[in-house]
Amino acid sequence: MQLVRSQPIVLLASAALWLSACAAPAQQPANKPAASAPTGAPASGSSAAATSAPTGAGAAGSTIKLFSSFPMTGSALGQTQTMVNSIRMAIDEHGGRVGNFAIAYEALDDATPAKGNWDEGKEAENANRAVNDPDVMVYIGTYNSGAAKISIPITNRAYLFQISPANTSPGLTKPGKGEPGEPEIYYPTGVRNYARVVPADDIQGAVAARFAKEQLTVQRAYVLDDAEAYGRPLATVFYNEARRRGIQVSPANGPESIDRQATDYRSLALRIRQTNPDLVYFGGVTQNNAGKLWQDLRATLGPNVKLMGPDGIFEQAFLDAAGEAAIGTYVTFGGVPVSRYTGKAAEWLQRYRQRFNSEPEAYAIYAYEAANVALDAIQRAGRKERNAIREAGMNTKDYDGVLGRWSFDQNGDTTLTTMSVSQFKGPRMDQTEFIIQLSAE
């Protein structure tokens, strides 16, 4: 009897793994809008449709392909769809061409329906597809820092230029700011091929801590994370910076990771209440159950304890998931929120609204900038050769884009370091109130 009882658990568990590995294509139709915008290029052609120009040929009239890899299944779609839109927009504004090359673009999905979130296997598959397609010259991605850890080593071996509009984990590029061995382990050739147009989390976490101390005059803070490659290091930066600034941080041994599959966080909230904090900080993304966490924190801690999170929850999906509990939450974000765009950014916003008849989410403008930097690199390289384009891309200096004038430093990080803090005021993103622009000091 004992044997029969224990077997099903093992079976069920291994079967569940199998389920998450090869999920049913239940949500595929949700991806379709991705292909709706006109680009003058095949929106979702397979590699079979690729022209077979040999790498480095630079023949007149040949096609250069850009791939992007974001989670396009699940709740991140609200955000990533506007990013894909922006990339298409950038290419179309170049007339679909750079020099002699026609530009084709394909938006890949690195999420699975069963996870509703990015997936290691899918990301590796996407990166390999890019590397093995001789026409692909730039890989735009990823959205999640954890996914970048998978794809960078793959694109690196092919000297393929990878540019991310959204990765913020410091360890991807900055020596000494991440885990031991980072970032060298991501660059097996020893040559850098990865850059990002968004400020990293060593800045974001520090700005959040500075804001908590200086603006909110927080005395005691409780720090949580979602145990992922993006959330955990970010929460750790916040934790250390907050302590350095004299905030009393709990728990005693560093940020506490939540169980993203839990049905409730009441016990956790109760434990947090015992430490009597003024602020609870969560490093993580919406897709790791942040909405439910917020509900239980708000219900148990009452209206006076402040809640704060990073750019990973700066999206409509979070407001939907957390409901009323989201209102009053402080959020940090690279650059400024959509409502505060000025100059070139404001002009871009106008064009975006006109073309797509909708509002872009926070990362759309970064995707637009990343695509433009990629096109600029192709222009300056002047050849259809991965290494030349990689070198041109990594050497982007004094770029005058929608984000302002900036350069990539030797690590591939943007020289922009301004972050902003906003506060959710209602159930829609456009009701978000901008509070302050801050640097990490």
Partner 1 sequence: MLDLEILLQVLVLGLTNGALLALVALGYTLVYGIIELINFAHGDVYMIGTFTALTVVLGAGLSRSSPPLTLAAFLLLALALAMLVCAALNAVIERVAYRPLRHAPRLAPLITAIGVSFILMNVGLYWYGASQVRFPDILPNIDLLQALGLSTVVRFSTKDLFVLVVTVPLLLLLNLFIYRTRLGKAMRATAEDRDAAALVGIDINRTIALAFIIGGALAGAAGFLSGLYNNTAWFQQGFRAGLMAFTSAVLGGIGNPTGAVLGGLVIGVVAAITDFYLDPRWTQAVVFGILIVLLVFRPSGLLGEQVPEKV
Cβ(221)–Cβ(335) under 8 Å? no
Stretch that binds partner 1, among 122-130, 144-152, 321-329, 352-360 (CB under 8 A): 321-329
43-82: contacts with partner 1 (CB under 8 A)? 73-75
CB of 252 to partner 1, least distance (A): 13
Under rule CB under 8 A, residue 121 binds partner 1: no
Under rule CB under 8 A, residue 11 binds partner 1: yes
Q: What tokens does 92 get?
A: 């179309």
Under rule CB under 8 A, residue 172 binds partner 1: no
CA nearest neighbour of 200 among 173, 221, 180: 173
What sections of 163-230 are H helices per DSSP?
201-214
- Choose between 78 and 96: whose C-beta lies nearer to partner 1: 78
Q: Which amino acid, residue 212?
A: A
- Choose between 24 and 59: whose C-beta lies nearer to partner 1: 24
269-288: contacts with partner 1 (CB under 8 A)? 270-271, 274, 286-287
Of the residues 9, 17, 48, 60, which one makes contact with partner 1 according to CB under 8 A = 9
Pairing of strands 279-283, 256-257: unpaired
Site residue total, partner 1 (CB under 8 A): 50
> Radius of gyration (Cα) for the chain, nearest Å?
22
Strand order in the sheet with 97-98: 97-98, 101-109, 63-70, 136-141, 161-164, 194-196
Task: Count Cα neighbours of 435 within 13 Å in the Cβ-side half-sphere.
Answer: 21
CB of 113 to partner 1, least distance (A): 6
CA nearest neighbour of 371 among 62, 105, 112, 170: 105
Under rule CB under 8 A, residue 220 binds partner 1: no
Q: What tokens does 381 get?
A: 């390289």
CB of 119 to partner 1, least distance (A): 11
Contact letters (x/-) for partner 1, 243-262, by CB under 8 A? --------------xxx-xx
Of the residues 37, 50, 92, 115, which one makes contact with partner 1 according to CB under 8 A = 115
Q: What tokens does 289 get?
A: 């159950």
Under rule CB under 8 A, residue 12 binds partner 1: yes
Q: What tokens does 258 get?
A: 């939540």
CA angle 29, 30, 35 (to 5 degrees): 85
Please report, as ranges, the residues that interact with partner 1 according to CB under 8 A.
Answer: 1-2, 4-5, 7-9, 11-12, 15-16, 19, 23-24, 26-27, 73-75, 113-117, 257-259, 261-264, 266-268, 270-271, 274, 286-287, 289, 291-292, 295, 299, 317, 320-324
